[in-house]
Structures are given as C-alpha cells and as structure tokens.
Amino acid sequence: MRTYAELFAVREFRNLFLANCAGIAAHTTSALALGALTYASTGSALLTALSMFGAPLAGVLGSLTLLSAADSVPPRRAMTLAALLAAAGAALQAVPGLPLRARFAIIFVTAYVGSVAAGAKWALLTDIVPVNAYVLARATMNTSVGVMQIAGFGLAGILLVWLSPYQVFLLALALRAVSAAVGWFGLADHPARAAERVTVARTLHVNRTLWADPGRRSLLLNLWVPGGLVVGCEALFVPYAAHRAGFLLAAAALGMLAGDVVVGRFLSPAHRERWIHPLRVLLPLPYLLLLLSPPLPLAMAVALVASVGYASSLPMQERLFAHAPPEAGARCSACTTTACWPGRRCAPRSPGRSPTWSRRRAPSRCSPPCP
C-alpha cells in the first residue's frame, strides 16, 4: 500500500480521516476565538498563549494518571466520548460573560480526557492499515491536521472580522458533533488492546516501562524538545500580528502539510532516515528572521518554511512504534502527541511572559517571538 488511492480505499481509514479533520477544524477555530477573546479582555500575551496552546498541559497530567485507558478502552468508544465532551465544552465557551477561569478550566478538562483519545486514535491505525503502510497513513493523518489548521485558522480569522468569538464557538460545536458522529458510525468496534483496569498505578507502571528503555527514551526526547521549543514561538503569533495572527498560523500549518506530504509519500525509508537531521535544523532557524520585525507576508513565509521541519517526526515515530510493547501501543503513540510532551506544552508560557511584563498593551505587532 503505497498510494493515496489504496489508502483511502479502506473504509475505516476514510472515516477516521474525516473525524480527525472535523475535530482539528473545531479545535483551531475555537482556539483562535478564545485567543482573541482573551487578548481583547486582558491584553496579556502570556494568557493568550496559554489559552491557545497551553491547554494540553493537562495532557501531561493525563499521561501520569489516565493514559492506561488508551489501551484498556475500545478506541471507538474513547474517541466518541472525547469528541462529545469537547462539544459540550464548545457549547459552554459560547456563553457570553463566562469568567476567564471557567473558560480555562473547560479547555484543560477537555485536553485531559483528549489525551486518552489521541493515543487510541493513533494506535488504531495499526489495526486499520498494514504495517508497511503506517508511515503513509500517519503522514496522511498529519496532512489532515495541516489542512484543517489552515482552514480552521483561516476561516476563524475571517469570521472574527464580522462575528463575535461566541458565534465562532458555535461553529466549533457543530464540527465536534460531526466528528463524534463520523467516529461512532464509521469505525468498527475494535477491542481494547489490554484487559487491565484503568488505574493510576497501571499507568505509572507502563510509563516507567516505556521510559526505562534507552532507545525509546532517546526517541521521546528527540520528538519532544525541538518541536516543543518552536511552539513557544508560534504561541506569540497573536500578540505579534493581533487580528491577523490567523494568517501566520495558517502559513505554519501549510508548511507542516507540505513536509508531511513529501516525507510520507515520496521519500523511501532510507531517505526518510537521512533527512531527519536537516529537517530538525530547518525547524527553528528561520524564526531568527522575526527578530527583524518583518512585515506580515515575510513573517508568513518564515512560518511556512520553518514548519516543514516538523516532518522529521515521521521517521522517528515509525521507529518508536516499532519498538513499543504490543500491549502499550496506544500509550506509546500518545507519548508522541500529547501526554509525554511537557516541554511542548510548557513552551508557550515562557516566551509569552516577555511581552506581557514589558508591555501590558501591545500594538498590532509587538516584539517578535524568540527563535
């Protein structure tokens, strides 16, 4: 299985792809709406960064306490329940006058439960497609993330010109409902990978097992640190470009999309391994140009080119999953996305402090993000 036509001929993969598209579009539209609402009400770059990119910090807590559910609960059930919870959260976010603390609590609870669904979703790929098609399937799913981020951030950026953030949250609610329906009716009821009960002790035991192996530990750190630090730069797009931040986020998503297509579809396994280090170098370096405070079109080009470097994670994810214990495949997959990436979740907080403390009220383009 080496072509998109063969991949999309698999019914379950088509439905998983569509459910993922709807979920990512809902997340991006609601994230930009919440970021705009937070920045308008507080003028804080730190709080804005946290509102848009800091919610999956709860995924770190989920990885420590709840992640055994990713292998102990049937994946369709886990994904549907997470989508319904996110839909309820979007409905609450659409209520005007809701305190900012309550809004933050909603996104953190949603992310906490979502860490389980993320692991189940990625591990489900190995049940749906052959092993030799995993990289193509994973790259295609990543492509859906890029496409829907472009569509979600771009659409939300346009809608926020005419609509209130509360109305954009209603759009996110509809998209979450679509994701839940497609996942429930379009996927088979695959059994859980493990029969153990969902307990904190079980989660801690499996996490220690995954972390104890030097090879897996090295891969997790290499997946965690570079991308995590770059997210700190992306978290400042709103204070950098104010209401035009959606264009920067869409450009970054387009770059990620291009990298995933090229690496996942056109490079052989040997070439994918060879390009890991050049792509990792490409990820942070272009952001140095933002120190010169370029105009928006050039800043978009910087974000686009740099984000191609995210594709370095594909061959490393393939290597990691090949060395994962069979009964912990979902948890190992989750480690590459949300649960075991504390650096990526904490990164938006640190750079957000500088413009917050140095200037409470920033203009449309404040001090550029750090590289």
| pLDDT, tens digit, 9 for 90 and up, residues 332-353 | 655 655 544 444 444 444 444 4
Q: What is the mean pLDDT of residues 165-186?
A: 93
Higher pLDDT, residue 129 or 338: 129
Measured over all CA atoms, what is the biggest interatomic distance in the chain, rounded to whole angstroms? 55
Over the stretch 218-247, which tens digit does the pLDDT of each residue have? 777 777 777 767 776 776 777 777 777 778
Q: What is the mean pLDDT of residues 32-38?
A: 88
pLDDT at 369 over 50: no
pLDDT at 15 over 90: yes
Q: Which of 109-113, 140-144, 289-293, 358-362 has the lowest mean pLDDT?
A: 358-362
pLDDT at 16 over 50: yes
pLDDT at 178 over 90: yes
Distance CA 209, CA 328 (A): 10
What is the helix, strand, coil percentage profile of the chain, to 5? 80, 0, 20
Sign of the four-CA dihedral 76, 82, 85, 90: negative
Distance CA 356, CA 138 (A): 37
Sign of the four-CA dihedral 184, 189, 191, 193: negative
Average pLDDT, the chain: 78
Q: Which of 41-50, 171-180, 290-299 has the lowest mean pLDDT?
A: 41-50
Question: Is the pTM for the entire model greater than 0.75?
Answer: no
The whole-number pLDDT of residue 364 equals 34
pLDDT at 88 over 90: yes
User: Percentage of residues in the chain with pLDDT exceeding 70?
Assistant: 79
Structure tokens that stand for 89 in this block: 């959260």
pLDDT at 30 over 60: yes
Q: What is the CA radius of gyration of the chain?
A: 19
pLDDT at 32 over 50: yes
Q: What is the mean pLDDT of residues 152-173?
A: 83
Distance CA 306, CA 268 (A): 22
